[in-house]
Structure 1
Amino acid sequence: MFPNILSAQKPSGKGGQGRQMGKEAKLSILGRVIDEEKEPIPFVSIGVFNSVDSSLVTGGTTDDKGYFELKAPKGSYYLQLSFLSFDTRVIPNVAVDKSDVNLKTVTMKHSATSLEAVNIEAEKSQMVLKLDKRVFNVGSDLSNRGKNAIDILENVPSVDVDVEGNLSLRNSQNVRILIDGKPSSLVGVSSNDALRLLQSDMIERVEVITNPSARYDAEGEVGIINIVLKKEKKKGLNGIFEVNAGYPNRLGTSFNVNYRKNKLNLFTGYSINYRERPGQGETYHVFYQPDTTYSYRSTRDHSRNGLNHNVRLGGSYDFNKYNSLSVSSNYSYSSGVNTAKLVYKDYSENNELSQTSVRDEIEDQNRESAGLRLNYTKLFKRPDMKWSIDANHFFSFSFEDALIDQTSDLPGVAATQQKAKTEEDETNTLFQSDFEMPIGKESNGKFEMGIKANIREISNDYLVEDNVGGTFVPIPELDNHMVYNENIYAAYIMVGNKTKNLSYQAGLRYEYSDVKSDFRRTNEVNHRTYGNLFPSANVSYEFKKNSFLQASYSKRVSRPRHWYLFPFYNLSDNRNIARGNPNINPTFTDAFELGYMKKWDRANFLISPYYRYSTGVVERILLADSNQINYRFPVNLGFRNAFGLEVSGSGDLYKWWTMNGSFNFYREITEGSYKTQDYSADTYAWTARVVSKWKVKKAFSFQISGRYHSPQKTIQGTRKSMYKIDLAGALDVLKGNGTLTLSVRDLFNSRIRRSVTNGPDFYDESDFQWMSRFAQLTFSYRLNQKKRRGRSGGEFDGGDMGR
């Protein structure tokens, strides 16, 4: 878990504030709400009322540990606490005079009315805006039901997923992906298909942290995407069960069950899903030679089909109010058959058809991963003082075995056959310890420090063979075994404080990197070690009327992804070959961001200008050789200046109509060259996303969402515009215990990557669709849970600074 963000031990004042009371200095009313069994009660609504005229002065809610802190001027008040299935509690005679009022613990009693008789709860917003991060609550988006993590991330503000499943944040793919704040076996394998194993009913929310502080890994040019898994806080036995089916062939089922009693919490979950993901593409390529010109057109039809299993098991135990231990594990397995058919039509310099060839590929694919995670947390008698230890270990294995046949209608051209095999193993061991404590006379400040070690090894064994006279013979340049070791050792220190309306925080992180790539069959070794300091700073100011201003800075690093180092990717299209570059160096980035956030009763708004300066920028370039084969590979080009303005907002237009959206405009200036060829570019582009949700009566809701990417220049050409529209509708059944959801992803089948690439001796134009439109029907049944309804706009948070 992220220290200090995913947990809180002291009231944070995150509840909404009521009307402002002039310029008079305010003091805190703080405490913790518990039930009869001394368990904390999160999200309790608290109102502070004037004892004279019963007018509302301020209000808020408890955090996930039951703590609250509300600001009020000097005066005499009474508090009213209310929460679902508990009797309303009134605390009279609360006098705020010369110092803060600490109510310590406040006990609420369960109502005589059974929880099963209550069917209205407050629904979480789809999008919660914070100064330091954006939070996207997965369950509030109808189109996410029955989907996987990649589908969900497509709907997250600031995040883009291209047609091949590659993630980017603010137009950069150098983003760090975490599960519950830590690396995970679910994102350990080399392909983005790994995230497709993680189903939506396992995910609570997605956090986008655009300018992380020193407590986080420095990895990721533009920040961190953290996928937070569900951790049920309700007592007793409860859970959710889902069944889904769709077209093209989609079928699956899953369950997640949790049992909590006293100090013990246990959970388990399982999902099995079969998916067929058809796609297509077209390419037009022209080669310019000194004395002639050649061209070809190709069409591609492919389908990626597979059966996925995912198991999750774990629990936690509170030994006492100061010591707790949690253990969690996961295992996933997938197998499938991928097919692809490419048809090439070659044309002479007179644009006459000279040859048609067909290339068929069938590939067996298997993936397996497992992980174990331990966490020990110790609290102290002094509030907000905490020490935690985390230990993780996970492994993953993948195997791909492809058979490729190619034929031609040109006389004298023989049919060819190739085999391509890849085996990849990864192990990752992590140890981390963090300590935090309050500082200052009034404990408004905070001191943090921590250490971390991440030991990672990836073994990739690949082989491509030609069928020569009935015998498969290895191709020497495509026969190797690469072992990649990446060991990162880190330590950090942070200090923060809050004085009246001003909060500030500064931190310094040191990371020592020991990275080695070893090509065993060719005895090529590339071993690099480097140590770097990564400073961060954060300042925020709270105005009246629920508005905040924040400025932040951090230094980041993007180490080469291990698959960028592989000389071999695949030979599915032997005229367009993607390969790696073992000599890639890391990219370093200085990131600056300014954020202003404003909240109204039923809406919120965030505007964030940002700037990034990066050196050693990595770009993938396309070059053609003398045999008319295109090679795409990564290189360190030079430097890049990136400017942007991101605007996000959400709100309730009416009780039955809510909307949220985001807009990002950016300019990128890239300067660099490769082998005397200039690859500089200056581009302006923008993206937009909007979600509109309507409620029809109590049982039915409908949602439409859209996303648009404007055209933009690249270092070798142009990427054309792209848009998509999604629809979803949900109907509550079985007295609110069940929900039927019908969704259509990419309604107009328009999510197609279209690009033009130019070089000194070629022109390339391509359209590519990794996965076509699909529709899905999902049935969800909740055990001892009720469908949440209510307002879904206007949630707001000032971040986690300076507590």
Structure 2
Amino acid sequence: MKKNILVLLVVFIGFSSFAQQSDVRITGKVIDKETNEPLEYATITFSSIKENKIVTGGITQANGDFNIPVPAGIYNISIEFISFKTENLSKQKLFKNTNLGTIGLGLDTEALDDVVIIAEKTTVEIKLDKKIYNVGKDLTVSGGTVSDVLDNVPSVSVDVEGNVALRGNDNVRILINGKPSGLVGLNSTDALRQLPAESIERVEVITSPSARYDAEGTAGILNIILRRSKLQGLNGALTFNTGYPLQVGVSGNINYRTGDLNFFTTSGYNYREVPGNSLSETQFFNFDTDTQIDEPDTFLNEKRDFDRIRKGLNTNVGLEWYINDSSSITGSFLYRSSDNESNTSNLITEPDVNGNILSSNLRFDPEVEDDITKQYAINYNKNFDDSGHKLTFDFQIENSEEDESSRITQENVSTIELVNTLEKQDRILIQSDYVLPIGKKSQFELGYRGNFNELDTEFLVQFDDSGVVTTDTNLSNNLIFKEQVNAAYSQFGSKAGKFSYLLGLRLESTRITIDQQTSGDFNKKIYTDIFPTINLGYKLSEKQSLTLGYNRRIRRPRSRFINPFPSRSSATNIFQGNSDLNPSYSNVFDLGYLNRMGKLTLNSSIYYNRSTQIFTFIAENTGDTAIIGDGTIVPIIRRTPINLSSSDRYGFEFTLTYSPTKKWRINGNFNAFQNSIKGDFNGENFDADNFSWFARLNNKITLPAKIDWQTTAFYAGPNENAQTKSEGLLSVNLAFSKDLFKEKASLTFNVSDLFNSRKRQSVSTTETFITDSEFQWRERSFTLSFTYRFNQKKKRQRSRNNFNGGGEEFEGKP
């Protein structure tokens, strides 16, 4: 018995000794090599030599120290921190408690696409084919949306209706993470107003796209990159916001990586009340061309008040599996839902020449809209070596459905108008890209992309007269729009001394069918086009560089432009698409100059755009009439897009960044352009010359108690075309922010449109009428937001301009 107990005791002691030796403690400290300051939340990972997999890891404390239990063995150790170069320790024999000492990390001067960067200020990188704006702590958009972020990006402007323009041209291709996305949805304007601003890491402004990108978008491309981390462990940020007019929202980006699996999500919910208004005053010239009798003119005033409620939920979740050191598979699912209400009160009054009201009519349009988008995506990435030799494959399928319904009533009219629009869209994307480095300074690229889109629109107009419902077969219709675009491209880039170039060629074959089933109309268009791209760069010195770009672009009509179903919110003014609209083509040239002069940085461009078969919007008399008030008959005016022969757009822009002190930063952007349009339509000449400009000034200063104060002013100059003249528009945003809990949290208060002046005022003149109008999509708003970051250290970047001199990147990587 004693012998057995002794044996068990020996076994227990041996087992205990083995257990105690199986885990060893690895300690050390991580600092900034340049400043010797400790780096909190630096990540230390231990990878097995045999299996080449991450076994465990940990993060540093506030003082930079780490203390991590590790199973005894031989490991490759990696130490990394946001925007710093990774330090690797190979084949470390860890069989006992070990102190690795103090490890210094140096700042990485290249952009880090794979980590979360919470920047103190927005920085810019210049590439051969694009400018990259890393979205920093932009106070005026805190608690806002992607639309608000874009409105602060140089070269970009967002009008009062939320339409995005690049250098004054509204034909902009918007991508999410380099691809078309359900986050943009059927209506890109509304979708961009739902995605929270805090989910964006950077915006790529691509005014001279390389052949890798779709040729769609004559103005260029805006590529929105969402935040995503690949660091070990859990990290992320949550933002809560509220404001007036009433808004409540919560959003977050969370990332969790353990070993070879990386889970990520960007999600948000918001409730917003968005009041707006519009006013139009129209004078109809009642001249009878047959009898040559000039009758008294008719005057009509139309005032609309919009009471909107926007409720939106969006989530993008994904899982990335690192198969081995060289390849990974990522699967993701996107869900976006919006439940919108818009109550439009439309008061039409008829004054006489002295302003006395002869009659009035109130039209009420309560519209309910439900919008749901689901998107499934899978990506495969294979890196053959560390030189950039790689192959990627993407497959994406998207289903969207938008259901709008209205029950329109009019004063003193018993009949109720019932309008329902149902849109269903199915979209498939297939893409593959292959990149082959040739030597150390050259690169060859080859790829394919297929976009397959089908949009089914049902438009139903009914009238309810005392419970008897009848369908208007003249207005009701069903349209099926199909677009298939197959594209192949190749490009080659190289660098010789101070000179860099990127040459590409893209072939796109388009097949469009428009099936108007109710009327039996069928239209099919097939065309194949070649789109060359040339991007050149020359480094004059370490601080100065030149870039020159040329590319051919196409603008295909989107669904709203070709949808022949008229809007019904107004009895006298409608919008109607044109199913005969043809694509427009552009040749675009861009010459850029960059100069970094100490605390001042200048980034400027001269550009020219020659377009044919351009889209333009005209207002015309439909020939139909509407009865208002006490029986007054007035014409119905239609706004519709048409093709004109050509336009020449040329302009100049510059962005100045100046930092007088560490606590004061000024950023200014100016863009001036001339647009000359030529063309006739239905015997009427629409030639027009328009000079316009816009400017943006952003001033940020740190006040006592470390309170940040930021003011952004934007002014869009007057512009005109053959029919419409628009006045200039001024908008000012103001914000204050204070960091809390050792910079783990921020509290921000901002005022959007401080002077309530963001209104479009215009005058449209034709042979039969003149209209003076004013439109305000959103009134002044106040927002209070609170952001809390966990395992995400806000990076206060050094006093430096993060500009890449141009020519260091050839692949135009999304």
TM-score (norm 2): 0.83
Question: 3-state SS of the aligned residue for 1:187?
Answer: coil
Question: 561, 564, 570: which is aligned to 2:567?
Answer: 570
What corresponds to 1:212 in structure 2? 209
What corresponds to 1:767 in structure 2? 774
What corresponds to 1:489 in structure 2? 486
Distance 1:536 1:725, change over 3 A: same
Asked whether the equivalents of residues 693 and 703 of structure 1 are also in contact (C-alpha less than 8 Å), the reply is: yes
Question: 259, 272, 281: which is aligned to 2:278?
Answer: 281
What corresponds to 2:7 in structure 1? none
- 2:104 pairs with 1:88: yes
C-alpha distance in structure 2 between counterparts of 1:643 and 1:122, whole Å: 34
**CA offsets per residue over residues 714-763 of structure 1, 9 Å max, x none?**
22131110010000111112232211100100000000001111001110
Distance 1:122 1:354, change over 3 A: closer
What corresponds to 1:421 in structure 2? 420
Question: 359, 366, 372: which is aligned to 2:370?
Answer: 366
What corresponds to 1:315 in structure 2? 319
C-alpha distance in structure 1 between counterparts of 2:119 and 2:726, whole Å: 43
**CA offsets per residue over residues 294-335 of structure 1, 9 Å max, x none?**
111121111210221112211212222211111222111111
**Which amino acid counterpart does residue 658 of structure 2 have in structure 1?**
G
Distance 1:444 1:755, change over 3 A: same
Question: 177, 180, 202: which is aligned to 2:177?
Answer: 180
State the 1:271 CA deviation. Answer: 1.5
Where do residues 703-722 of structure 1 align in structure 2 (5 Å cutoff)? 703-722=710-729
- 2:669 pairs with 1:662: yes
Asked whether the equivalents of residues 125 and 792 of structure 1 are also in contact (C-alpha less than 8 Å), the reply is: no
**Which amino acid counterpart does residue 425 of structure 2 have in structure 1?**
E
**Which amino acid counterpart does residue 419 of structure 1 have in structure 2?**
L
Distance 1:760 1:122, change over 3 A: closer
**CA offsets per residue over residues 677-706 of structure 1, 9 Å max, x none?**
011111111100011111124642110001
Deviates more, 1:187-196 or 1:698-707: 187-196
**Which amino acid counterpart does residue 704 of structure 1 have in structure 2?**
T
State the 1:121 CA deviation. Answer: 8.8
What corresponds to 1:502 in structure 2? 499
State the 1:194 CA deviation. Answer: 1.6
C-alpha distance in structure 2 between counterparts of 1:220 and 1:757, whole Å: 27
Where do residues 671-710 of structure 1 align in structure 2 (5 Å cutoff)? 671-697=678-704, 699-710=706-717
What corresponds to 1:728 in structure 2? 735
State the 1:474 CA deviation. Answer: 1.8
Where do residues 195-206 of structure 1 align in structure 2 (5 Å cutoff)? 195-206=192-203
Deviates more, 1:351-360 or 1:448-457: 351-360
- 2:550 pairs with 1:553: yes
C-alpha distance in structure 1 between counterparts of 2:159 and 2:423, whole Å: 24
What corresponds to 1:471 in structure 2? 468
Question: 3-state SS of the aligned residue for 1:152?
Answer: helix
Question: 3-state SS of the aligned residue for 2:792?
Answer: coil
State the 1:270 CA deviation. Answer: 2.8
C-alpha distance in structure 1 between counterparts of 2:118 and 2:274, whole Å: 37
C-alpha distance in structure 2 between counterparts of 1:252 and 1:452, whole Å: 37
Distance 1:792 1:392, change over 3 A: farther
Question: 733, 740, 749: which is aligned to 2:747?
Answer: 740
State the 1:382 CA deviation. Answer: 6.5
Asked whether the equivalents of residues 486 and 510 of structure 2 are also in contact (C-alpha less than 8 Å), the reply is: yes
State the 1:625 CA deviation. Answer: 3.8
C-alpha distance in structure 2 between counterparts of 1:139 and 1:366, whole Å: 33
What corresponds to 2:137 in structure 1? 140
Distance 1:501 1:128, change over 3 A: closer
**Which amino acid counterpart does residue 241 of structure 2 have in structure 1?**
N
State the 1:235 CA deviation. Answer: 2.4
Distance 1:37 1:648, change over 3 A: farther
C-alpha distance in structure 1 between counterparts of 2:800 and 2:754, whole Å: 26
**Which amino acid counterpart does residue 435 of structure 1 have in structure 2?**
Y
- 2:427 pairs with 1:445: no
What corresponds to 2:586 in structure 1? 589
Deviates more, 1:719-728 or 1:316-325: 316-325
Aligned residue-pair number: 700
Asked whether the equivalents of residues 505 and 801 of structure 1 are also in contact (C-alpha less than 8 Å), the reply is: no
Question: 3-state SS of the aligned residue for 1:295?
Answer: strand
What corresponds to 1:47 in structure 2? none
**Which amino acid counterpart does residue 125 of structure 1 have in structure 2?**
T
State the 1:64 CA deviation. Answer: 7.2
**CA offsets per residue over residues 505-563 of structure 1, 9 Å max, x none?**
21110000011111111111111010000001111111123211011100000000111
C-alpha distance in structure 2 between counterparts of 1:382 and 1:265, whole Å: 21
C-alpha distance in structure 1 between counterparts of 2:166 and 2:320, whole Å: 34
Distance 1:578 1:733, change over 3 A: same
Where do residues 99-110 of structure 1 align in structure 2 (5 Å cutoff)? none
Distance 1:800 1:521, change over 3 A: farther
Asked whether the equivalents of residues 601 and 794 of structure 1 are also in contact (C-alpha less than 8 Å), the reply is: no
C-alpha distance in structure 2 between counterparts of 1:797 and 1:303, whole Å: 46
State the 1:422 CA deviation. Answer: 0.6
**Which amino acid counterpart does residue 418 of structure 1 have in structure 2?**
E
**CA offsets per residue over residues 363-394 of structure 1, 9 Å max, x none?**
11111111122111111136221111111111
Distance 1:643 1:705, change over 3 A: same
What corresponds to 2:760 in structure 1? 753
C-alpha distance in structure 2 between counterparts of 1:320 and 1:698, whole Å: 49
Gaps of 5+ in 2: 1-41, 48-53, 59-79, 88-100, 107-116, 288-293, 626-634
State the 1:602 CA deviation. Answer: 3.3
CA-based RMSD of the aligned residues comes to 2.4
State the 1:203 CA deviation. Answer: 1.4
What corresponds to 2:528 in structure 1? 531
Question: 3-state SS of the aligned residue for 2:473?
Answer: strand
State the 1:135 CA deviation. Answer: 2.5
What corresponds to 1:160 in structure 2? 157
What corresponds to 1:18 in structure 2? none
- 2:305 pairs with 1:298: no
Question: 3-state SS of the aligned residue for 2:165?
Answer: strand
What corresponds to 1:226 in structure 2? 223
C-alpha distance in structure 1 between counterparts of 2:607 and 2:361, whole Å: 49
Question: 3-state SS of the aligned residue for 1:193?
Answer: helix
Question: 3-state SS of the aligned residue for 1:87?
Answer: strand
Question: 3-state SS of the aligned residue for 1:616?
Answer: strand
Asked whether the equivalents of residues 686 and 709 of structure 1 are also in contact (C-alpha less than 8 Å), the reply is: yes
For the pair shown, the structure with the greater C-alpha radius of gyration is 2
State the 1:568 CA deviation. Answer: 1.7
Distance 1:701 1:353, change over 3 A: same
What corresponds to 2:629 in structure 1? none
Distance 1:403 1:779, change over 3 A: same
Question: 3-state SS of the aligned residue for 1:151?
Answer: helix
State the 1:63 CA deviation. Answer: 10
State the 1:159 CA deviation. Answer: 1.3
What corresponds to 2:433 in structure 1? 434
Gaps of 5+ in 1: 1-32, 42-60, 69-84, 91-119, 409-413
C-alpha distance in structure 2 between counterparts of 1:189 and 1:578, whole Å: 18
Asked whether the equivalents of residues 270 and 311 of structure 1 are also in contact (C-alpha less than 8 Å), the reply is: yes
Asked whether the equivalents of residues 120 and 796 of structure 2 are also in contact (C-alpha less than 8 Å), the reply is: yes
Distance 1:661 1:363, change over 3 A: same
**Which amino acid counterpart does residue 430 of structure 2 have in structure 1?**
F
Question: 3-state SS of the aligned residue for 1:571?
Answer: coil
Question: 777, 783, 787: which is aligned to 1:780?
Answer: 787
C-alpha distance in structure 2 between counterparts of 1:664 and 1:345, whole Å: 40
